[in-house]
Amino acid sequence: MLFPPDFLTRVEYLSIMSKRVFRGRLLAQRRTLQMGAGIEFSDHREYTPGDDFRYLDWNVYARHGDLLLKRFEEEEDLHVYLMLDCSRSMSFGNPPKFDLARQLVAALAYIALSDLDRIAVFAFAKGTVAEFPMSRGKARILPLMRFLEDLPNVGSETDLATSVRQMLQRSSRNGLAVVVSDLFDEHGFQNGLDQLRFRRFDAHVIQIHDPQEAQPELLGDVALIDMETGGERKVTVTEKNLRMYKQLFNNHQVAVRDYCRNYQYGCVQHASIDRFDDIILRMMRESGQSA
């Protein structure tokens, strides 16, 4: 079962924890400076001809004779874009990586909706496969769960750059983008994440792998199937081949971590056998430490 009976109970707990642990960091992303009345005083700026006299700080003028206008920080809704990889490689494993990915997207959406943020989900492979439109309010979680349950695991490869470009064309403004994927993209994952960076999105990467992908136990004559393209190749796997493969896999994982660290993006890497709530709690801890 994709969403067990206690799923909403578990995500409600995560929602409560999120307000304690990293709400401050998320709020910082959605504060904008406004003139005049607002939520929290920020600073002053000098008066220039044509400014509204109502926003002058008369106390400062009375003490020092300076004409300064008050500026306040106003809180805006955070737009959260959840990008879910549903390419063929996400079907690998028992349970499939795709199951954990959908649970993570549902849980993160619930947390955002509980905090009155707006969420949209873009399911992608080689381009956008399906879209759950921008929504607000906890009542939207059940339609979203049905949307995720009905999503196909499509038979095509990952093309993150094209998928991000299509998402950006549909997004009304920037915000927080969460990419949930194995990032097995033959074109490279960097181009897609670069596009988010250039558009000034905050981003978090959740990279999922199956334990057999990290530590395969294959020796001898085998038929290997490319989970992204469906291509088949018969090979003889030796101990040397296994060492080379493991090194390439580790290099890929390190490249993802290094990219996210260099550009201050959040990043967690987990096996598909891990629990979705453990992964989100780790995200919260790391966000809280960096706030």
State the pLDDT at residue 229: 65
- Check pLDDT > 50 for residue 192: yes
Write out the two tokens for 79.
């737009």
Cα separation, 120 vs 131, in Å, equals 7
- Summarize pLDDT for 103-155 with one digit per residue, the tens: 999 999 999 998 878 999 999 998 888 999 999 999 999 999 999 999 988 77
Q: Are 42 and 33 in contact (CB under 8 A)?
A: yes
57: pLDDT confidence band, cut at 50, 70 and 90?
Answer: confident
pLDDT mean over 100-105:
98
Count CB atoms within 10 A of the CB of residue 18.
24
- Check pLDDT > 80 for residue 71: no
Cα separation, 42 vs 19, in Å, equals 23
How large is the angle between the packed helices 276-290 and 7-21, nearest 10 degrees?
10
- Check pLDDT > 60 for residue 23: no
Write out the two tokens for 28.
């910082």
Rg (CA), the chain: 23
State the pLDDT at residue 226: 67
Domains of the chain: 7-19+78-290 (3.40.50.410), 32-75 (no CATH)
State the pLDDT at residue 235: 79
State the pLDDT at residue 236: 79
- pLDDT higher for 60 or 278? 278
State the pLDDT at residue 237: 80
CA 105 to chain centre: 9
Count CB atoms within 10 A of the CB of residue 61.
13
64: pLDDT confidence band, cut at 50, 70 and 90?
Answer: confident
20: pLDDT confidence band, cut at 50, 70 and 90?
Answer: low
pLDDT mean over 251-263:
97
Candidate from 117-121, 143-147, 172-176, 286-290 with smallest mean pLDDT = 286-290
For the entire predicted model, the pTM comes to: 0.80
State the pLDDT at residue 27: 40
- pLDDT higher for 97 or 223? 97
- Check pLDDT > 70 for residue 74: no
